Amino acid sequence: MPAIAPLPPKPPIVHVRPIADALGDEGLFISKAAEKAAEHWEDRAQWILTHSRESDELDYESVPLDDAGTVRVRYKFAGKLEPMPYEWDD
Amino acid sequence: MNARIHYPQAPITEAIIDIRVRLPESMRPDDLDELHALVRDQYPGKENRALAQGRCEVGAHVSASASQQPIGFLFKTSDEKQVFQARTDGFTFSRLAPYESWKPFRDEARRLWELYRQVGKPEEVLRLAVRYINRIDIPLPFDDLNQYLRTFPEVSPDLPQALSGLFMQLTIPQPDIDCVTLLNEALIEPAHPDIASIILDIDLFRQNSVPQDDAELWKFFEILHARKNAVFEACVTDKARELFK
């Protein structure tokens, strides 16, 4: 089974965007997929990783919430419903 | 890891040699246009290369801006199979399929690099990389990816084993040569309905203690190439090798 190996040089351990530009269809596909993964990473994991590295003691820090406002809602009981269809592709 | 044998039907769709540099501050992207006069016979096509940057600020006010900054040129052969990029951040040489072999690919990259070095006068070489993108077309049906690949995502046997999408990236340090392998694997739309196409993208690079001298630099590319071959061989099975013969 693979183990997690720390990279010798500087943190963070992220190379999701290949640097050597590819020009063919396959390379462009990889670039797009990596870009998508990078966005996912930056939105979520990187904040946690970089902040946890700032301190030697691993401490819990919550991920800051996006700006939120108040929305007034009114619920109305509409009777018993059938379960919504579940798409596996989602 | 085994040494690489030459495959008559190698799955390589693109091979790249990439050298990142620091050019003198006085060097402007337009100055690299001078290279076209030196390679025009073999590389008649020319395109501008630009770095697109976007910025979005969210706060009391939301603002977004985008800009394009020219960074150099892309020169290509008339069949568009060989492409040479001369940018202010470095040099990239790409060979698209069909890929013949390492020697002519490396020799052409070296010839173009020498021209780039002559015109761009880089002050420092920052990073060296070889990147090989392979597309492995596996005939359907097959039971398990492990029949063809030795590096792939493992799915719990308690889950359905059919994948309709896959993108996996592994960053694997290679401490003995002070390099890092960035290995991408993805499922791509196949050319025919009776095959599954898997991309195996091996990007091997060094960005510490990079050789500055040309002879040492190209000697190191031999090491990168040999290791790239070893990584490829380590990732495929004999059944996959049969596909490339």
Beta strands B12-22 and B167-174, pairing class = unpaired
Q: Using CA atoms, how far apart are residues B211 and B90, in angstroms rounded to an integer?
A: 15
Residue of B nearest to A32 (CA): B167
Lowest mean pLDDT among A76-80, B55-59, B125-129, B139-143: B55-59
Count the domains in chain B.
1
Other CB atoms closer than 10 Å to residue B140's CB: what's the count?
11
Whole-number average pLDDT of chain B? 90
Q: What range does the domain containing B72 cover?
A: 12-243
Q: How many Cβ pairs within 8 Å bridge chains A and B? A: 89
Contact B37, B31 (CB under 8 A): no
Inside any domain, residue B6: no
- For A27, the closest of B20, B133, B173 (CB atoms) is B133
Indicate the Cα dihedral angle A49, B131, A18, A23, nearest 10°: -170
Complex ipTM more than 0.85, yes or no: no
Kindly list the residues from chain B whose CB atom is less than 8 angstroms away from the CB atom of residue A9. 207-208
pLDDT category of residue B114 using cuts at 50, 70 and 90: very high
CA B99 remoteness from chain centre: 13
Domain chopping of chain A, boundaries = 12-56
Q: What is the pLDDT of residues A57-79, one digit of tens each?
A: 556 667 766 777 777 778 877 78
Other CB atoms closer than 10 Å to residue B190's CB: what's the count?
15
Residue B173 reports pLDDT greater than 70: yes
Nearest chain A Cα distance for residue B182, angstroms: 7
Q: Using CA atoms, how far apart are residues B97 and B5, in angstroms rounded to an integer?
A: 18
Kindly list the residues from chain A whose CB atom is less than 8 angstroms away from the CB atom of residue B171. 7, 13-15
